[in-house]
Amino acid sequence: MIQSKAELIELYRKRAPSYDFTANLYYLIGYREYAYRRRAVQALQLQPGDTVVDIACGTGLNFPLLEAAVGPAGRIVGVDLNDAMLAQAAKRVLREEWKNVELVHSDAAVFDFPTDIDCALSTFAITLVPEFDAIIQKGVAALKPGGRFAILDFKRPAWPPLWLVKLFVLATAPFGVSLELEDRHAWESLARRCEIFRLEELYLGFSYLAVGQTVVPETTGVG
Per-residue model confidence as pLDDT tens digits over 89-136 = 999 999 999 999 999 999 999 999 999 999 999 999 999 899 999 999
Residue 223's pLDDT is 46
Quick one: average pLDDT of 143-160? 91
pLDDT at 76 over 90: yes
What percent of the chain shows pLDDT beyond 90?
Answer: 62
Which is more confidently placed, 19 or 38?
A: 38
Residue 205: pLDDT band (50, 70, 90) is confident
207-to-33, 76, 77, 113 alpha-carbon distances in Å: 10, 25, 25, 26
Q: Which domains does the chain have, with CATH numbers?
A: 5-213 (3.40.50.150)
CA geometry: angle 167, 171, 176, nearest 5 deg: 115
For β-strands 196-202 and 207-213, DSSP reports them as antiparallel
Range with lowest mean pLDDT among 25-29, 39-43, 126-130, 195-199: 25-29
Instruction: Round to whole Å and give the CA distance between 38 and 19.
Output: 18
Given a contact cutoff of 8 angstroms between Cβ atoms, the answer to whether 149 and 212 are in contact is yes
Residue 24's pLDDT is 64
Which is more confidently placed, 59 or 221?
A: 59
> Mean pLDDT across the chain, nearest whole number?
87
Highest mean pLDDT among 100-109, 150-159, 212-221: 100-109
Instruction: Round to whole Å and give the CA distance between 135 and 4.
Output: 17
Q: Measure CA 143 to chain center.
A: 16
Residue 172's pLDDT is 67
